[in-house]
Amino acid sequence: MKILLTGCGGQLGRELTRQLKQKGTPFAGYDIPEFDITDKAAMAAIIDRENPDVVINCGAMTNVDGCETQEAAATAINGEGPGKLAELTAERDIVLVHVSTDYVFDGKGISENGRIRPYTEADPIDPQTVYGKSKALGEKLVKENAEKYFIVRTAWLYGDGHNFVKTMLKLAENHDKLTVVADQVGSPTSTVDLARAILALIETDAYGIYHGTCEGMCSWYDFACEIFKLKGIDIDVAPVTSEEYPSKTPRPKYSVLENAGLAALGLNVFRPWRDALVDYLNWLDES
Determine whether 103 is an active site residue.
no
Average pLDDT score over residue span 204-219: 98
Asked whether residue 83 is assigned to any structural domain, the reply reads yes
Among 119, 131, 158, 254, the active-site one is: 131
112 found inside a domain = yes
**Domain with 31 in it: what CATH number?**
3.40.50.720
Whether 278 maps to a domain, the answer reads no
Write out pLDDT tens, residues 128-182.
999 999 999 999 999 999 999 999 999 999 999 999 999 999 999 999 999 999 9
Q: Is 209 within a domain? A: yes
Could you give the strand order of the β-sheet that contains 149-154, starting from the edge strand earlier in sequence? 27-30, 3-6, 54-57, 95-101, 149-154, 208-211
Number of structural domains found in the chain: 1
pLDDT value of residue 250: 86
The per-residue pLDDT for range 229-259, each reduced to its tens digit, is 999 999 999 999 998 877 878 899 999 999 9
Q: Which residues does 66 contact at the CB level (< 8 Å), separation at least 6?
A: 74
Does some domain include residue 239? no
β strands within the chain, DSSP E: 3-6, 27-30, 54-57, 95-101, 110-112, 115-117, 149-154, 157-158, 177-181, 185-186, 189-190, 208-211, 218-219, 236-240
Q: Decide: pTM greater than 0.85.
A: yes
Q: Does residue 37 belong to any structural domain of this protein?
A: yes
* Domain extent for 115: 3-161+188-215+256-272
Torsion angles phi and psi, residue 155, rounded to 5: -160, 155
**Does the residue 285 lie in any domain?**
no
